Structure 1
Amino acid sequence: MGDLIFSLVSIAYSIYLLVESSKLPAGIATIPGPGFFPRLIASVILVLACLLLTFSLRRFFKKTTTPFPKGRWAQVSLVLITILLYVLLWGRCNFLLNTFLMLFSIHIVTGSKWYMGLIGSAVLSIGVFLLFGNVFHVLFF
């Protein structure tokens, strides 16, 4: 049942991303514009969420699903709230700081050790920032 709910939320999120990224220019000829990567990521999320929905519906109707473990609803809710806050703050605050705080809070909520969350969040945030800023020349807000 958790996969079914997650796939539906992911489909809604990817559709939102597609709508918002369509407001950005796609690019000219072979030069990708600012809307290229958000559309690409939203499309990948949409395809994967549809696959997850298909598999979860198949399992749901076969009645072979295991119940969602008790006590995990709070974790799932906190992670979804964290991601929602990240999306709402998108473009309003520093990208590097927002991404670091989102990843770190997800690490903490899911029970990782705080220092592993700190290191992992910092490395991933800085890595994404450097990759997209220096290699793909994406302008961050």
Structure 2
Amino acid sequence: MDISGQTRRRIFIVAYQAGPNDLLRAARLARRSPSGSGRPMSRQELAEAVNAYAYEHAGRRVTVDARYAGKLERGEHRWPFEPCRTALRMVLGKSTNAELGLFVIHGHNKDPEARGRTGDFGRACSRTR
């Protein structure tokens, strides 16, 4: 509290840092492959699970593939389309986007979407009904 008796609120801002999304990668590697091999879940298996979850629970087709999962893990994309974020959280057993290292970076000078380039975002996470 300050002198006037008012409580000061502290606001912490997390600065965007380019680089790999270690939280997403760790969450994937912590899951076992559905193949029963005992190995960690592969990017392709993650993509298939995300696609299936989005279709079954949101009624939307998303086209996530191993390549796009790799881009998310490398930090090339930080904020996928909503059905993809929800499916990633559910498949990987997390309750928030932050637990997977997913956050909005719109307006940041390193954000390709802010420069008008969407790269593979539209294709990788497109939706159809």
Q: TM-score, normalised by structure 2?
A: 0.28
Choose between structure 1 and 2: higher helix proportion: 1
Higher RCO (C-alpha under 8 Å, 6+ residues apart): 2
Q: TM-score, normalised by structure 1?
A: 0.26
